[in-house]
Amino acid sequence: MQKKLIMVVDHDPAMLADVVALVNKAGFETVSYSSAQQALTHLDTQGKSTLRMIVAEAVMPDVDGFGFLKEVKKRPAVKDLPFLFLTHAHDTSILINAFEHGAVDYFFKPLKKELFIAKIRSMIGAFDDNIKNTNTILSGKLVDKPLDEIVALCEHESLNGFVQINHPDQFQGIITFVKGLPDAMYIQDGQGKKLYTDTEAFEKMYEWDAGDFVVRRGALSDY
């Protein structure tokens, strides 16, 4: 599974390095910048990609954290990402300003490492759950809705997305769709190793009469 990407922005080289090292150690990938303008250039050229969160210093030269957040909110692909401010300030007016600009939360420096990572995991988890809920078209059990009915639904919805089936024997079936038509299909084991692909995978999934399924919009990598 691809690691989730966190953007870190801080003009202080030492703090930037510390935060990046801490986030990487926690199992995430990072992209880091020492200025808001560099970070905005990344967003404009790289798009959302697998980006799941932005962590930025509130007080920076050139474009400060609040100006940076304002610019992020103008970009549809990333405007809803969780945004965490880092700050030395305990000034209530600064914190209120952060929330009014759309920040999800803030964290005081110096960092308390365990709490900082726990907050990041919580914010990303809530964001991921919201994506799943928003883009889930249907979920249930194969015993109640067989695969042929699920495929028919995907065709009717002109789905750009996927069907994921979790079999009780620890197999997972995936069918991706483009404009309602099956595009790729495979069955993998619990370690993510592909066991069957294409027509063979499709035929075996049709034989399954047990397991949970979910139909979602978007790319599988977004989840």
> What CATH code is carried by the domain that includes residue 80?
3.40.50.2300
Do 120 and 146 belong together in one domain?
no
Do 110 and 196 belong together in one domain?
no
For residue 203, give its domain range: 142-222
- SS3 breakdown of the chain: % helix, strand, coil, rounded to 5? 40, 30, 35
Do 197 and 102 belong together in one domain?
no
Element (H, E) at 49: none
The model carries a pTM of 0.76
Element (H, E) at 84: strand 83-87
State phi, psi for 124 to the nearest 5 degrees: -65, -40
Task: Return d(Cα 218, Cα 115) in angstroms, integer.
Answer: 32
What domain count does the chain have? 2
Do 21 and 44 belong together in one domain?
yes
Name the residue with tokens 């964001």: 127
Read off the pLDDT band of 142 (50, 70, 90): very high
Do 101 and 201 belong together in one domain?
no
Task: Return d(Cα 188, Cα 196) in angstroms, integer.
Answer: 7
Do 156 and 69 belong together in one domain?
no
Query: What's the confidence (pLDDT) of residue 91?
Result: 63
Do 160 and 95 belong together in one domain?
no
Do 174 and 128 belong together in one domain?
no
Residue 103 has pLDDT above 80, yes or no: no
Residue 92 has pLDDT above 80, yes or no: no
Residue 110 has pLDDT above 70, yes or no: yes
